Amino acid sequence: MTLLQKYLANKPAGSAAFSLLKEKAIRTVFFFTAFFAVIVIAFIILFLFRDGFPIFTQVGIPGFIFGMDWTPTAMVPSYGIFPLIVGTIFVTIGSMVFAVPLSIGCAIYVSEIASPRMKSILKPAIELLAGIPSVVYGFFGLVVLTTFIRTTFSIPTGETWFAASILLGIMALPTIISISEDAISSVPCEFKEGSLAIGATRWQTIRQVIVPAALSGIAAAIILGIGRAIGETMAVLMVAGNAAIIPDPIWNVLSPIRTLTATIGIEMGEVPVGSSHYSALFGVAIVLLLITLVINLSAVAILSRIREGKTLHITDRIFVSRKTMDRITGLFRYLAIACVAIFVLIAAPLWLSVSILAVIGVWYVAKDRLTQGQIQKIAFAFVVAAAIIVVAILAIILEDIVVHGLPAISWEFLTQPPQDLGRAGGIFPAIIGTLYLVAGAILIALPLGVGAAIYLIEYTRESRITKLIRTGVDLLNGTPSIVFGLFGFAFLVLYLNFGVCVLVGQITLALMVLPTVIRTTEEALKNIPLSLREGSLALGATKWQTIRKVVLPPAIPGIVTGAILSIGRAAGETAPIMFTAVVFSQRFLPTSIFQPVMALPYHLFILATNVPGSSTNRYGTALVLLMLVIGVYSIAIVIRNHFQNKARG
């Protein structure tokens, strides 16, 4: 008898039954972590409706949605959110007019034209752009962009629809670029070779074969970009001017404007709990949530269709007939003409209008006389310009904040509490507060998220339950951060009576980053080949042993990357914590998780909007926050690249 045989023979009776029980228990635990996402989204909807319901009975759904006046603090308050809906839609349209051409140009450049070297510079730059916290964008917009608009167009204030659109456009760039770049890169090489072999130029190939083949992916990218723009709070709040009016005339892009998100962000802090106004803000959140849910679910549906197609033969790709294509290009052409017309007629100063018209005129005269080679040169020039503009935007933002922020940084600034409302002194409590919030958030989100991913990938086949869970995760992912803030306030602060404190902030942030953790862990687990699992199971290992010893170890880099990305996101967010966890000024650090804290993003927000004369410390805070988030993201990128290279061998 060998040692092993002896061991197996001596195994106590009943251990099989025990291990079966253990496996079952583990499976149940994972199921609950996965189902948690569904519970959360259900609770969010429940509590929004619970607190928002009174306003619908008071003014009626049509009166609420189509009411023209939003004057909640007037003697006779009026709760009509139509101007806010219009504001949200207008700002979003404006941001897409700016972001879509730029993003698609940049995506084409990165995937089809850039050398590998350029690619290795551009891709991290785009990821960096995605990592900048929205409050830093808002701060930059407030200080630089609105000033620029005010002086360029000689108007009294730069806080306008135009400014909000540009800023949101910039923020949507990384989303649209990276997803459309993915879509373009995944067009099979055969299409490209087939077209080039006929003697089409590279540009003809891109325009007539590659982009049409990637169209559904690009559409999904744009939809997700729209979702990002609609859900954004802090940045838009800081630059839009926030007058609850419909622009007059309706195309006046230099009019101030107010969005649904900004309304919640501005008014939530000062509203008496339980009043009609309070209820109306929850009503606003319901409308906002419904809009973003529809948008995100449609993008998810398109993307999952593409992903399924990818594994099958190319014949399953979505076929776009010429008529549809012509219709789409036609639509875009009219849209472009309308936008240029609005810009030229209303907004731009004379010299700009004249030069734009001149360029268009020259193009129409010359168009038919150009050779395909010349057209390609012009097109590539535009595409390269798009990429340069994207990089330039990043450079300008970084340069502005680094140059102005560096003088503020000192040992005292980093280690002292603020004085004189933050005009002097340091930001030490804010740094520590942010660290507390982030650490707690990740401690909560990581086990839940990893557990959910393990359940989804390892324990189930696709079924109704997994579909429900996945939809829950997608919905959670598309929920605007301000809605998380509202939910945290209504459920944790008030209903569970935790009060405004660190713990509530941690939980709220954890819920917000949960989808990111689940997604990245799922991806990491999917990359582990089935044969490894089979190898382990074939030796008689149990499912849990296989997961713990064979599947999880190689997936750890992926999971760590996801965790770090979540940390970066949580560190930069303002909206979820501003009603749930933070105070503006605090001389001492909290001694328990049931006390409020200071946090960097919120500190920057208040300094920038409410404390005049704090210019140096604003920039200092922005720089510290930016460095913190960028540092975290860089670590994630380095880890990912390191393991990707390793995997390739």
Partner 1 sequence: MSENTIISTSNLNLWYHEKHALQSVSMKIPKKKVTALIGPSGCGKSTLLRCFNRLNDLIDHVKITGEITLDNEDIHAPATDVVTLRKKVGMVFQKPNPFPKSIYENVAYGPRVHGVKDKNELDRIVERSLRHAAIWDEVKDRLNDSALGLSGGQQQRLCIARTLAVEPEVILMDEPCSALDPIATAKIENLIELLKQDYTVIIVTHNMQQAARVSDYTGFMYLGKLIECGKTVQIFEHPKEELTENYITGRFG
* 113 touching partner 1, by CB under 8 A: no
Q: Which phi and psi (to 5°) does residue 257 adopt?
A: -155, 160
Q: How far is the CB of 323 from partner 1 (least distance, A)?
A: 9
Closest CA relative to residue 522, chosen from 610, 438, 602, 449:
449
Q: Of the candidates 39, 46, 68, 193, which one interacts with partner 1 according to CB under 8 A?
A: 193
* 198 touching partner 1, by CB under 8 A: yes
Nearer to partner 1, 85 or 214 (CB): 214
Q: How far is the CB of 199 from partner 1 (least distance, A)?
A: 3
Q: Of the candidates 28, 120, 157, 372, which one interacts with partner 1 according to CB under 8 A?
A: 372
Q: How far is the CB of 642 from partner 1 (least distance, A)?
A: 23
Total count of residues recorded for the chain: 649
Q: How far is the CB of 637 from partner 1 (least distance, A)?
A: 23
* 196 touching partner 1, by CB under 8 A: yes
* 647 touching partner 1, by CB under 8 A: no
Contacts of 184 (CB under 8 A, 6+ apart): 107, 108, 111, 112, 210, 211, 214, 217, 218
* 188 touching partner 1, by CB under 8 A: yes
Nearer to partner 1, 200 or 346 (CB): 200
DSSP state of 345: I
Give the per-residue contact string, 330-369, with partner 1 (x = CB under 8 A; - = no). Answer: ----------------------------------------
* 10 touching partner 1, by CB under 8 A: no
* 272 touching partner 1, by CB under 8 A: no
* 208 touching partner 1, by CB under 8 A: yes
Stretch of residues binding partner 1 (CB under 8 A), selected from 202-210, 260-268, 386-394, 638-646: 202-210
* 190 touching partner 1, by CB under 8 A: yes
Nearer to partner 1, 201 or 298 (CB): 201
* 317 touching partner 1, by CB under 8 A: yes
Applying CB under 8 A, the site for partner 1 has a residue count of 30
User: Can you read off the two tokens belonging to residue 77?
Assistant: 């308050």
* 12 touching partner 1, by CB under 8 A: no
Contacts of 37 (CB under 8 A, 6+ apart): 452, 469, 472, 473, 476, 514, 515, 518
Nearer to partner 1, 193 or 308 (CB): 193
Stretch of residues binding partner 1 (CB under 8 A), selected from 196-204, 331-339, 439-447, 492-500: 196-204
* 315 touching partner 1, by CB under 8 A: yes
Q: How far is the CB of 320 from partner 1 (least distance, A)?
A: 7
CA–CA separation, 339 vs 173, rounded Å? 19
Contacts of 624 (CB under 8 A, 6+ apart): 405, 409, 414, 427, 431, 600
* 321 touching partner 1, by CB under 8 A: yes
* 28 touching partner 1, by CB under 8 A: no
Place of tokens 């009411």: 67
Stretch of residues binding partner 1 (CB under 8 A), selected from 27-35, 145-153, 308-316, 465-473: 308-316
Q: How far is the CB of 186 from partner 1 (least distance, A)?
A: 13
* 21 touching partner 1, by CB under 8 A: no
* 373 touching partner 1, by CB under 8 A: yes
CB 518 within 8 A of CB 476: no
Q: How far is the CB of 204 from partner 1 (least distance, A)?
A: 5
Q: How far is the CB of 191 from partner 1 (least distance, A)?
A: 6
Neighbours of 49 (CB within 10 A): 14
Q: How far is the CB of 327 from partner 1 (least distance, A)?
A: 15
Stretch of residues binding partner 1 (CB under 8 A), selected from 51-59, 314-322, 457-465, 590-598: 314-322
Neighbours of 123 (CB within 10 A): 16
CB 625 within 8 A of CB 136: yes
Stretch of residues binding partner 1 (CB under 8 A), selected from 273-281, 282-290, 310-318, 596-604: 310-318
* 212 touching partner 1, by CB under 8 A: yes
Q: Which phi and psi (to 5°) does residue 271 adopt?
A: -100, 140
Burial 548-582 (b: 16+ CB within 10 A, else e): eebbbebbebbbbbbbbbbbbbbbbbbbbbbbbbb
Amino acid letter, residue 646? K
CB 109 within 8 A of CB 374: no
Stretch of residues binding partner 1 (CB under 8 A), selected from 1-9, 315-323, 430-438, 574-582: 315-323
User: Cα dist. 588→402, 428, 506 in Å?
Assistant: 28, 10, 19
Neighbours of 197 (CB within 10 A): 8
Closest CA relative to residue 343, chosen from 138, 143, 153:
153
Contacts of 485 (CB under 8 A, 6+ apart): 264, 268, 508, 575, 576, 577, 578, 579, 580
Q: Which helix (H) or strand (E) holds 70?
A: strand 70-71
Nearer to partner 1, 5 or 321 (CB): 321
Nearer to partner 1, 159 or 182 (CB): 182
CA–CA separation, 49 vs 41, rounded Å? 12
Nearer to partner 1, 67 or 309 (CB): 309
Neighbours of 94 (CB within 10 A): 24
Contacts of 351 (CB under 8 A, 6+ apart): none
Q: How far is the CB of 511 from partner 1 (least distance, A)?
A: 41
Q: Which phi and psi (to 5°) does residue 71 adopt?
A: -135, 70
CA–CA separation, 340 vs 337, rounded Å? 5
Give the per-residue contact string, 138-177, with partner 1 (x = CB under 8 A; - = no). Answer: ----------------------------------------
Q: Of the candidates 48, 128, 206, 213, which one interacts with partner 1 according to CB under 8 A?
A: 213
* 194 touching partner 1, by CB under 8 A: yes
CA–CA separation, 156 vs 150, rounded Å? 6
* 319 touching partner 1, by CB under 8 A: yes
Instruction: Return the ∠ at Cα 176 (arms to 174 and 177), rounded to 5°.
Output: 65
Stretch of residues binding partner 1 (CB under 8 A), selected from 79-87, 93-101, 194-202, 387-395: 194-202
Closest CA relative to residue 281, chosen from 524, 518, 73, 437:
73
* 200 touching partner 1, by CB under 8 A: yes
Q: Of the candidates 195, 233, 477, 536, which one interacts with partner 1 according to CB under 8 A?
A: 195
Q: How far is the CB of 198 from partner 1 (least distance, A)?
A: 4
Nearer to partner 1, 372 or 410 (CB): 372
* 209 touching partner 1, by CB under 8 A: yes
Binding site for partner 1 (CB under 8 A): 116, 188, 190-201, 204, 208-209, 212-213, 314-322, 372-373
